[in-house]
Amino acid sequence: MSDEPRDLYYHDLFQDNQHLASGTGMYNQKPPTIAGSSAYNSQGFDPSYLSFTECLQGPMDYNSLASAFGLSPSSSEVFSSVEGNPKPIDVGDLGGGGGGGGGSDNLVTQNSSISSSSTEAGVEEDSDKSKKDGQPKESEDGGESSKKVGKAKKKGEKKQREPRFAFMTKSEVDHLEDGYRWRKYGQKAVKNSPYPRSYYRCTTQKCTVKKRVERSFQDPTTVITTYEGQHNHPIPATLRGNAAAMFPPSMFTPQIRGPTFPQDFFVQMPQMGNQGGANSIYSQNLMNNPHQQYQLPDYGLLQDIIPSMFLKQEP
C-alpha cells in the first residue's frame, strides 16, 4: 500500500473558514458567505460547467469538473494544492474518524482502482451486481448452505465501484431529501463513532445508484452523504411537486455510458437548513445548476458554495 490511497479530500467549511480565507493555492478564495453573497465569477468560474446531476447520471470527466469548479484542469495541481491545505481529510476520517483505522476499503481505496483503470469500471460494477441484485434468491440450489448468502463471485475479478462523491450538510435529519426515492438496505455501526451509517439504494428499477448516510461524530450536526453511481432516470414525478418541477425533463436524458467520471470529489455544503424540505431545495439547486445565480432564500447564492467544493486527484 504505498500508493497513498488518499483519494478524497474535502474542505471543512464549517470549521475552517478561516483557513480558507488564508489558504493557499486555489483555495485562496473568499470563504463562502452563507447569507451574503458576492460574486465568485471574478474568481475565474468557467461558464462551461456540468451540473451536479450530470455528475450523477451523465458522463463527465475530471477536467471538465475541475474547470467547472474553477479549478485547474491540471490534476496534479489540484492535488497538491489540496494537499497543502489546512484540512485534507479522506472519507475514512469522515465516518467518524473511524474508517481510517482498520481501514479496509473505503471510498478511497476502492476508487483509486477506478481512477487508475480508466473508464471500464461501470460495466464491472454492473456485472458484479447482477450476481446478486440481478439474480436474487436463487435459493442456493438446495445444496449445502441453506442460509448462507450464495455469493458466487469469480475470483480474480476485483470489485470495482462506481464513481462516488460526497457532501456534507448541516442537518438534523440524517436522510436528506434529494428528490429520488431510496430504500434502506443496511445499517452498520461506524467504528469509533456513536452514529451508525445507513445504506440506501435507489428504488427505481435498473438504477444502481446507492448512497450512504452517516453523521459526523466530530460534528454531530453534520451529515455526510455519499453517492455512488449515476441515476439513469429522472426524479420520480411523484416526489414533491417542487422537486420534480425543478428538473426539466431534458435534464435527464439517459446517458448511461459507464463511469466516465473517473474521480471522486467531495462537496461540502455550508449551513443547511434544518428542515428536509429546505435541504432538498438547496441540494437540488446545487445539483443542477451549481454555477447559476440561484438565489436561495435562506442560504445565499449557490455561487458562494461552489468554491467550497473541491476535488482530489490521484496522481
Amino acid at residue number 65? L
The distance of closest approach from Cβ of residue 245 to DNA in the complex, given in angstroms and rounded to an integer, is 21
Of 164 and 291, CB closest to DNA: 164
Q: Does 151 bind DNA (CB under 7 A)?
A: yes
Q: Is 196 helix (H, G, I), strand (E, B) or coil?
A: strand
CB of 37 vs DNA, minimal distance in Å: 36
By the rule CB under 7 A, 111 interacts with DNA: no
Nearer to DNA, 208 or 285 (CB): 208
Q: Helix, strand, coil: what percent of the chain each, to 5?
A: 30, 15, 55
Least separation in angstroms between residue 221's CB and DNA is: 20
Q: Which three cell numbers stand for residue 223?
A: 451529515
| In contact, 213 and 224? CB cutoff 8 Å | yes
Residue 150 within binding range of DNA, rule CB under 7 A: yes
Contact code string over 10-49 relative to DNA, x by CB under 7 A? ----------------------------------------
Q: Give the span between the Cα atoms of 10 and 265, in whole angstroms.
A: 8
Return the residue of 121, 190, 246, 281 that touches DNA, per CB under 7 A: 190
Of residues 74 and 185, the one with the C-beta less far from DNA: 185
Stretch that binds DNA, among 19-27, 192-200, 253-261, 301-309 (CB under 7 A): 192-200
Half-sphere exposure of 114 (CA within 13 A, CB side): 33
Per-residue DSSP letter, 106: -
What b/e sequence results for 199-224 when a residue is b if at least 16 CB atoms lie within 10 Å of its CB, and e otherwise? bbbbebeebbbbbbbbbbbeeeebbb
Name beta bridge partners: 224: 168, 214
Contact footprint for DNA (CB under 7 A): 1, 95, 98-99, 101-107, 109, 129, 132-133, 136-137, 145, 147-153, 158-159, 181-191, 197-201, 203, 210, 212
